[in-house]
Amino acid sequence: SHRLPDRVVIVTGGARGIGAAYVRALHAEGARVVVADLLVDEGSALAAELGERARFEPLDVTDADAWERVVAATVRAWGTVDVLVNNAGIANAGPLEHYTRAKWDAVIAVNLTGTFLGCQAVVPTMRAAGRGSIVNISSVEGLFGSEGLHGYVAAKFGVRGLTKSIAVELGRAGIRANSVHPGWIDTAMTAKIDPSRLPIPLGRGGTPDDLAGTVVFLASDDSAYLTGAELVVDGGMTA
């Protein structure tokens, strides 16, 4: 039996990487999934592969008008939005004196402002339905500082805080909001870091599939009493 029967889920940055693992896991649990991404070819191919309960929508998360279009198209197709997974993200780095305004603006725009705009876009629909789950992807970099990652750390701390203000404001409307804090996950973003050199109690780096169960849980009614929480999925690295 499926844990997300016909639930309507939007996953930003769902075309590749960790987001694509979320899309596959949510779909396998019976959800209807919108892959929302800048990457039209990859996103369309993934939705086509999954078939009936999957759609692709082009989205730049920093564009409020594009968000309106994605939510409207989803409601037109499937009637509602039950779950939003704000996963789209970028990273950049540099010593503070060389960390340009352009780097700062880019990483804040996608990771933090994009998450804010997504929440704003889905809340009216969730409020009308009297239910909803917002899953915001932060990072362990949203729990502690990291050399060179100034804008990324600030954005991921920001996502963690924004999640809590939304949880507090919208709980009585039936809308939950939680943040997920992945540690080292095997992707292009982390290819240059050797996980065997990190203090990970479970003794290995994580994979996108290691995160998917947490996102399915937060999307489903199994987490009905969970809101404003931060789930750290890092193999114990920050324990």
Q: Using CB under 6 A as the criterion, which residues of the chain lie in contact with ligand NAD when the complex forms? A: 12-13, 15-19, 37-39, 59-62, 87-90, 110, 114, 137, 139, 182, 184-185, 187-190
Just list the catalytic residues. Answer: 152
Q: How far is the CB of 66 from ligand NAD (least distance, A)?
A: 8
Q: How far is the CB of 141 from ligand NAD (least distance, A)?
A: 7
Q: Which is nearer to ligand NAD, 165 or 238 (CB)?
A: 238
Q: How far is the CB of 25 from ligand NAD (least distance, A)?
A: 14
Q: Which is nearer to ligand NAD, 78 or 184 (CB)?
A: 184
Q: Which is nearer to ligand NAD, 28 or 108 (CB)?
A: 108
Q: Which is nearer to ligand NAD, 6 or 49 (CB)?
A: 49
Three-class HEC string of the chain = CCCCCCCEEEEECCCCHHHHHHHHHHHHCCCEEEEEECCHHHHHHHHHHHCCCEEEEECCCCCHHHHHHHHHHHHHHHCCCCEEEECCCCCCCCCHHHCCHHHHHHHHHHHHHHHHHHHHHHHHHHHHHCCEEEEEECCHHHCCCCCCCHHHHHHHHHHHHHHHHHHHHHHHHCEEEEEEEECCECCHHHCCCCHHHCCCCCCCCECHHHHHHHHHHHHCHHHCCCCCCEEEECCCCCC
